[in-house]
């Protein structure tokens, strides 16, 4: 359980205790101020005070419900009455008119004007969207949303960022960049999507750098959102993260690049393949198949099959199988017969990918050995045979 989860649970407990204390205090006040003066028996007086308090609470909640329903009904009636007029004035503005009437309406009915403008931002595109964004700024709705972002409530901040993200021309980029450090994940994701949708190189780079520091869940969402900008990010942002000197940042950047699942124009991973941190070495190996010339890293992949860290050896075996490196044959056989569970399975699959010679080694392993390597060899052989069956045309 994270510190945030513990704080949320503690807040729930404190709220329940505060409600119970307030209820008990109300019963005590009613008992002392009113009931005890009329009923001498303390037990009966306390019970009567409890009933009075309960009835008062129920009556108050019922009255509050009626008031809220009346207010909601009034707002709906106002919206139905003003919506056609606000829409007509906004359309006239898009056609080249002025915003004098809308400025008057926004002073008298700010909620309805804001709602209508937000709906138009969702439905229009192109130059019309730019005009609606300019209208929102002219009506100072952007300032309203920026003030709303300073709220302590997560839903209010999320709504503010969602609406600011719909504005064109970078009118809210400053606040959106600040929202990348918001404590709420949904607010951060909303700001990131807005910046990626309408931002330039600097904003997209800022989203990538923010993703390097985020949790696995947020990073997974941002990895997919950053995929269309792979070429641009590989120009400076990704190499900068890989060369920053921090092992965690470099490892996270490599995981994001791997998540893109496409060829990347990175220079060379030789430095990272020899990094002092085993996690960085393993992550760099898994990115090698996405390089423009992965065969150039073949000697380093073969050398990594003898790495003291099993995770690095497992990554090297996986990459050797993907690239079908025949030069790694002997090292893969050694890994199959003398490693842990992960490296044994990875080496077996890599040998199966090398073709008939690798399959013969796996068959001998199944017949001769009774260890875990035989199980891994049999599994890899079955997978290889099933794939060949699927490749045969009907």
Indicate the pLDDT class of residue 8, thresholds 50, 70 and 90. Answer: confident
- Give domain status of residue 63, yes or no: no
Q: What is the CATH number of the domain that holds 323?
A: 1.25.10.10
Phi and psi angles of residue 246, each rounded to the nearest 5 degrees, phi first:
-95, 125
- Give domain status of residue 348, yes or no: yes
How many structural domains compose the chain? 1
pLDDT in tens, 205-248: 999 999 999 888 899 999 999 999 999 999 889 999 998 889 99
Q: Residues 264-291: what's their mean pLDDT?
A: 90
- Give domain status of residue 153, yes or no: no
- The answer to whether 276 and 308 are in contact (CB under 8 A) is no
More confident residue, 118 or 369: 118
Indicate the pLDDT class of residue 2, thresholds 50, 70 and 90. Answer: low
- Give domain status of residue 329, yes or no: yes
Percent of the chain with pLDDT strictly greater than 70: 96
Domain coverage including residue 367: 293-394
- Give domain status of residue 129, yes or no: no
pLDDT in tens, 99-120: 889 999 999 999 999 999 999 9
Mean pLDDT of the chain: 88
Would you state the pLDDT for residue 256? Answer: 95
- Give domain status of residue 319, yes or no: yes
pLDDT in tens, 163-199: 999 998 888 889 999 999 999 999 999 999 999 988 7
294 Rama class: left (phi>0) / alpha (psi -120 to 50) / beta: alpha
Query: Model pTM?
Result: 0.78
- Give domain status of residue 34, yes or no: no
- Give domain status of residue 188, yes or no: no
- The answer to whether 351 and 328 are in contact (CB under 8 A) is no
Taking the C-alpha atoms of residue 144 and residue 137, their distance in angstroms, rounded to an integer, is 10
């Amino acid at each position: 359980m994270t510190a945030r989860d513990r704080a949320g649970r503690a807040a729930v407990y404190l709220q329940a205790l505060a409600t119970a204390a307030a209820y008990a205090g109300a019963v005590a006040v009613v008992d002392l101020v009113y009931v005890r003066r009329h009923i001498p028996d303390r037990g009966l007086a306390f019970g009567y005070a409890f009933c009075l308090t309960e009835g008062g609470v129920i009556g108050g909640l019922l009255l509050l419900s009626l008031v809220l329903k009346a207010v909601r009904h009034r707002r709906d009636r106002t919206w139905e009455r003003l919506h056609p007029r606000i829409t007509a004035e906004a359309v006239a503005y898009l056609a080249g008119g002025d915003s004098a009437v809308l400025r008057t309406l926004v002073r008298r009915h700010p909620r309805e004007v804001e709602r209508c403008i937000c709906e138009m931002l969702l439905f229009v595109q192109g130059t019309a969207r730019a005009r609606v964004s300019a209208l929102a700024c002219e009506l100072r709705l952007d300032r309203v949303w920026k003030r709303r972002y300073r709220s302590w409530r997560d839903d209010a901040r999320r709504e503010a960022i969602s609406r600011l993200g719909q504005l064109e021309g970078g009118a809210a980029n400053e606040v959106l960049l600040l929202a990348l450090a918001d404590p709420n994940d949904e607010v951060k994701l909303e700001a990131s999507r807005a910046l990626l949708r309408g931002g330039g190189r600097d904003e997209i780079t800022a989203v990538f750098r923010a993703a390097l520091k985020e949790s696995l869940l947020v990073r997974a969402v941002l990895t997919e959102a950053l995929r269309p900008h792979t070429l641009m990010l590989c120009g400076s942002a990704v190499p900068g993260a890989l060369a920053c000197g921090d092992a965690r940042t470099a490892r996270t950047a490599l995981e994001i690049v791997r998540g893109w699942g496409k060829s990347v124009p990175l220079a060379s991973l030789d430095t990272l393949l020899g990094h002092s941190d085993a996690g960085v070495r393993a992550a760099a190996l898994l990115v090698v198949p996405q390089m423009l010339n992965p065969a150039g890293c073949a000697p380093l992949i073969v050398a990594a099959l003898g790495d003291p860290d099993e995770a690095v050896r497992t990554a090297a075996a996986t990459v050797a199988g993907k690239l079908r490196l025949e030069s790694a044959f002997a090292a893969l056989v050694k890994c199959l017969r003398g490693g842990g569970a992960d490296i044994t399975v990875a080496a077996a699959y890599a040998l199966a990918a090398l073709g008939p010679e690798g399959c013969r080694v796996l068959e001998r392993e199944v017949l001769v050995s009774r260890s875990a390597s035989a199980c891994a060899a049999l599994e890899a052989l079955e997978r290889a045979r099933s794939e060949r069956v699927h490749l045969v045309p009907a």
